[in-house]
Amino acid sequence: MNLSKKIILLGLVLIFIITSFTMFSFASEEKDYINRALKLIEEEEYNEAVRQLEEALSIVGSKADLEFVNVTFTDEEAWGFGMYNPRKNAVFAQGETFFIYGEAKNFTIKEIKKDLYEIYLKEDLYILDKNNNILFKQEDFLDYHITSHSKNSDLFITNTLTQTSPFPVGDYKFLLVLKDIFSGKTTEVTIEFTVSG
């Protein structure tokens, strides 16, 4: 093997070692919190164990896919996380207002400085017909940008949509595209409904 091939091979081995070490370091961060929590549980220091597990969960959540779950029509605007009256069906009268509830999961919680955090989500809204043709779209329909002194992991999103021009009778879908601005992650969900005469 000539010298240049040996140098290239050595370079590739070093890159592999550095990459493996870096990946191991990142992967071990949440494990460190979990291991500390397990030790604290053995010592019956439950409050501090909870804090360590919350830190681990925050790290794991930042690596997971963004999700938009429990998306449903409600009777009126929700008043808190998980606090809403689900609508009995998805049949609406012409001109009726739509209330939609959903929960964001695994979004980025950015630390601005000690004990101050930032969340920045946007949502695109599409109205589709039953054949998935786009009838209406509005990018950044929702712009949710907050700062908080807590890492708010329980985040609910409500959409209130009024029929300024009553929909023709028929079957439709709302396509909601949730975007995490800090990570660039996106997810989407479709919810079907009918407008009756």
Model confidence pLDDT, tens digit, residues 9-42? 444 444 554 444 444 444 588 899 999 989 989 9
Domain check: are 114 and 126 in the same one?
Answer: yes
Domain check: are 57 and 69 in the same one?
Answer: no
Position 162 scores a pLDDT of: 93
Domain check: are 30 and 124 in the same one?
Answer: no
Domain check: are 85 and 110 in the same one?
Answer: yes
Question: What does the pLDDT look like over 175-197, one tens digit per residue?
Answer: 999 999 999 999 999 999 999 98
Domain check: are 111 and 167 in the same one?
Answer: yes
Position 197 scores a pLDDT of: 80
Q: What is the tally of structural domains in the chain? A: 2
Residue 126 has φ and ψ, to the nearest 5°, of: -125, 145
Domain check: are 122 and 188 in the same one?
Answer: yes
To which H or E segment does residue 41 belong? helix 3-42
Domain check: are 190 and 121 in the same one?
Answer: yes
- pTM comes to 0.80
Domain check: are 119 and 188 in the same one?
Answer: yes
Averaged pLDDT for residues 120-141: 97
Residue numbers of the domain that contains 10 = 3-62
Q: Which of 46, 62, 78 is the last residue of a domain?
A: 62
CA distance 63 to 116: 21
Domain check: are 72 and 57 in the same one?
Answer: no
To which H or E segment does residue 91 belong? strand 91-93
| pLDDT at residue 5 is higher than 70 | no
Averaged pLDDT for residues 48-61: 91
DSSP state letter for 83:
B
Q: Which of 62, 82, 98 is the last residue of a domain?
A: 62
Position 27 scores a pLDDT of: 57
Q: Is 14 exposed, middle or buried (0-12, 13-18, 19+ CB in 10 A)?
A: exposed
Per DSSP, the three-state class of 59 is helix
Q: Which of 62, 81, 104 is the last residue of a domain?
A: 62
Domain check: are 18 and 88 in the same one?
Answer: no
Tokens of 131: 């054949």
